[in-house]
Amino acid sequence: MDLKALIRDIPDFPKPGILFRDITTLLRDPDGLRYTIDSMAEQCEDFAPDYIVGMESRGFIFGTPLAYRLEAGFVPVRKPGKLPAAVHAAEYELEYGTDRLEIHQDALPAGSRVLIIDDLIATGGTAAATAELIDRSDCTLVGFGFIIELTGLEGRKNLPAAPVISLVQY
């Protein structure tokens, strides 16, 4: 299946000069969504994760059904102030300033095998910060999975050593 045909390009969003890859058109297509989850599951099953960790918010969309398919648990990584219990936090660089991600301190049992899932990798900052949270949780990062990879931004170079899967490259 040609997933690129299901991903809409939005020029000049969120600001002039940016070409936004919109996955809402992929999500609304039942066959495309099924193919996406099935393909990611097939490519990631050998990682044998105990948990899938997905970043807010599109990582939730793909991570939860993937966790179901791989018979793993799902753990959300959230923006600051969204989780009610004690958290580990990691800051990461944005184009202008920094942002922060959080995970519950008790979300992952120490020693768990964790696969990080998100819709897109650009510069890799969000995924790298999430990997830092996995490390702080005393877990083993088994890999990263992305639906879309913007190869020109070389986000893989900013990730810790672990396999990276992407279904579509631009």
Enzyme catalytic residues: 58, 95
For residue 56, count other CB atoms closer than 10 A to its CB.
Answer: 15
Evaluated on CA atoms 6, 10, 14, 15, the torsion sign reads positive
Token pair recorded at residue 4? 């690129």
Q: Decide if 146 contacts 115 (C-beta within 8 A).
A: no
3-state secondary structure labels for all residues of 10-45: EECCCCCCCEEEECHHHHCCHHHHHHHHHHHHHHHH
